[in-house]
Amino acid sequence: KTMKLSSLQRDILVGTILGDAFLQKTGERNARLRLEQGVQQKSYLFWKVEQLSQLFQGKPKYLKRAHPLTRKTYEYWRHQSQSMPALGALRRIFYPSGKKAIPENLEVFLRSPRVLAVWYMDDGYYYQRERVSYLYLGNVTRHEAEIAAAALRKKYDLISRVLAKKKGFALYFAPHEAHKLAALIRAYILDEFRYKLPS
pLDDT at 2: 60
pLDDT at 131: 96
pLDDT at 67: 83
Look up the pTM and report it. Answer: 0.94
Dihedral class, residue 16 (left if φ above 0, else alpha if ψ from -120 to 50, else beta): alpha
Residues 9, 6: Cα–Cα separation, whole Å: 5
From the list 75, 73, 80, the residue with the least C-alpha distance to 48 is 80
Residues 63, 71: Cα–Cα separation, whole Å: 15
pLDDT at 69: 86
CB 15 within 8 A of CB 114: yes
What is the block-wise mean pLDDT of the chain (199 residues), using blocks of 10 residues?
80 95 93 93 95 93 89 92 93 93 96 97 96 94 96 98 93 98 97 93
Over the stretch 38-49, which tens digit does the pLDDT of each residue have? 988 999 999 999
pLDDT at 94: 96
Residue 138: burial class (beta carbons within 10 Å; 0-12, 13-18, 19+)? middle
pLDDT at 68: 84
pLDDT at 138: 87
CB 16 within 8 A of CB 118: yes
